[in-house]
Structure 1
Amino acid sequence: MDRLLSVQEVADRLSTGVRFPRRLIEERRITFVKIGRHVRIPESAVEAFVSAKTVEPVALRPMALGRAA
């Protein structure tokens, strides 16, 4: 079973304020669990969100580096 994180814990892991995870929950962009009036986010959902938003670097061709516009 996954560890359930509070909104504050998710914000700390993402190095953001609590507004960002709350917005993700409101827009249903991340999996969450409601326990009474509390909202918890599974640890795997945070990891999946980060890996889905990760952008790989693009290798520039050496020729394009010296060109002026």
Structure 2
Amino acid sequence: MTSTTSSIKLLNTAEAANLLGLKKNTLEIWRWRGCGPAYKKIGNSVRYSDSDLLDYIESQTRNSTSEHAV
């Protein structure tokens, strides 16, 4: 294992939802719709990396209420 992979923290859906201030079900729906933060499928488990979640949060920055998500 390299030092890069050893520093990655993977969160389950409940932990990721908590970090984002969402319900677990919201992330499940977003995955089904193909939107929301990037996730990884490891076997039967869904995991979100902390860096992907932070990138997603940054991508949601808006300067006006009339701006739409990219």
TM-score normalized by the length of structure 1: 0.69
- Trace 1:26-41 onto structure 2 (pairs within 5 A): 26-29=32-35, 30-41=37-48
2:25 equivalent in structure 1: 19
Please, which runs of 5 or more residues in structure 2 have no aligned partner?
65-70
* Cα deviation, residue 21, structure 1: 1.5
- Number of aligned residue pairs: 58
Give the root-mean-square deviation of aligned CA atoms: 1.8
The CA distance in 2 between the partners of 1:25 and 1:43, in whole Å, is: 17
Consecutive unaligned residues in structure 1, runs of 5 or more: 58-69
1:49 is matched with which residue?
56
- TM-score between the two structures when normalised by the length of structure 2: 0.68
CA distance in structure 2 between the partners assigned to 1:54 and 1:15 by the alignment: 16
Q: Distance in 2 between matches of 1:3 and 1:24?
A: 21
